[in-house]
Amino acid sequence: MYSAKTGFWLIVFSALLRPMLKGLQNKWKVNGWQLVLIIATFALGGSLTGYAGRKILDQFHLSHGWERVTLFILLVTLLWPVAVIFVSVPLGQFTFFRAYIHKIGKRFKLTKNGQKRAKKGKKRVNIAIFASGTGSNAQKIIDHFRGYPGIKTGLVVSNNPHAGVLNIAIRENIPILLIDKKLFLKKDAFLPFLVEKGIDFIVLAGFLWKIPDFLISAYPRKIINIHPALLPKYGGKGMYGHFVHEAVLAGKETESGITIHYVDELYDHGQVIKQVKCTVAADDTPETLAARVHALEHANYPGVIEDIIRQTLHFT
Ligand code: GRF
């Protein structure tokens, strides 16, 4: 039987642990089971590292002084990546840990970015961002993939010559295509252009025109969009920007959020990839709600794009 004290500590422990685990789940974009396997990999990899480090040191018959401690730290640092990669294979987490170790290596400038992949002759996955407005999401996406191994933002397409996203593209040195409706709807002009630019994946980030069918067929499950509400409500033609938030407030919703979805032949209709909710406060204005939703978009869209590209283009 548990004593009251044990029960108390269990409650405190789980109250602290739950948000921490949720936070990790969001950060790494994994489900509950995968999180368990990742933690198990860390634990087993760590123990294996410690064990192997001690065994190696024993071979050198070092005394228990500072030389042994220094060497042990050095060994553990070197062995840890190998150990977790080793353990991650049977636990099915190889892809996650390869990316994780690469990220750490990049942070400490130990591994290079995507140029390596390019050198090996493997083409980097080339994203085109379609946007008609400010481009704050476009900026986050560009930031996310800047120097990223194997994925790059290769083109910004806009229909609006005054769109803020164009300044972002210029600043970031990304080629721009400013299109008019005629060119956009012309299969034998627009499509060859994208192919020539080597575009593999299309991300809509506040793009106001409906995507023509030929483009959807040419890029099956390779065009995704973000909508600033919880679809299927508050979507469709004319539902963009402040119109969406006004409608959510008029609908007296207590929750809103974002929907990331595949693009199909209808406005805001394709299969949902991810939704993230936020509360709607009683005193919200369309502006305050928009700010909350925008923050969710920035925090989630780049990571989802990365995951979908990995899955769809079998890129790890
Ligand atoms: C975002 O709210 C997005 O959901 C919608 O268009 C808006 C674009 O905002 N599709 P920004 O230009 O990225 O700031």
Kindly report, residue by residue over 140-195, the tens digit of the pLDDT: 999 999 988 899 999 999 999 999 999 999 999 999 999 999 889 988 888 999 99
Instruction: Give the number of the atom of ligand 1 that is nearest the alpha carbon of residue 135.
Output: 12
Name every residue whose Cβ is closer than 8 Å to that of residue 144 and which is 6 or more positions away in sequence.
302, 303, 305, 306
- Residue 290: the pLDDT is 97
Q: How far is the CA of 79 from the centre of ligand 1 (A)?
A: 44
Alpha carbon distance, N-terminus to C-terminus of the chain: 48
Q: Which residue type, as a one-letter code, is found at position 217?
A: S
- C-alpha distances (whole Å) from 135 to each of 103, 165, 169, 184, 296 are 26, 4, 9, 20, 15
Greater pLDDT, 40 or 117:
40
Using a pLDDT cut of 70, give the percent of the chain over it: 91
**Whether this model's pTM surpasses 0.75:** no
Name every residue whose Cβ is closer than 8 Å to that of residue 17 and which is 6 or more positions away in sequence.
none
Contact (CB, 8 A) for 79 and 70: no
Average pLDDT over residues 199-223: 95
Average pLDDT over residues 33-56: 87
CA distance 291 to 109: 35
- C-alpha distances (whole Å) from 114 to each of 93, 103, 149, 170, 293 are 22, 12, 3, 22, 32
What residues flank ligand 1, with Cβ below 6 Å? 131, 133-138, 205-206, 226-228, 294, 297
Known catalytic membership, residue 294: no
Instruction: Give the number of the atom of ligand 1 that is nearest the alpha carbon of residue 204.
Output: 10
Q: Is the pLDDT of residue 223 over 50?
A: yes
Candidates 61, 64, 102, 227; catalytic one = 227
pLDDT digits (tens, 9 = 90+) for 277-298: 999 999 999 999 999 999 999 9
Q: Which residue type, as a one-letter code, is found at position 191?
A: L
139 half-sphere exposure, CB direction, 13 A CA radius? 15
Q: Is the pLDDT of residue 12 over 50?
A: yes
- Residue 78: the pLDDT is 87
Residue nearest to atom 5 of ligand 1 (CA): 206
Name every residue whose Cβ is closer than 8 Å to that of residue 197 and which is 6 or more positions away in sequence.
126, 128, 154, 155, 175
| CB neighbour burial string for 80-99, b if at least 16 within 10 angstroms, e if fewer | bbebbbbbbeebebbebbee
Q: How far is the CA of 144 from the centre of ligand 1 (A)?
A: 17
Average pLDDT of the chain to the nearest whole number:
88
Taking 3-state DSSP, the helix, strand and coil percentages for the chain, each rounded to the nearest 5, stand at 55, 15, 35
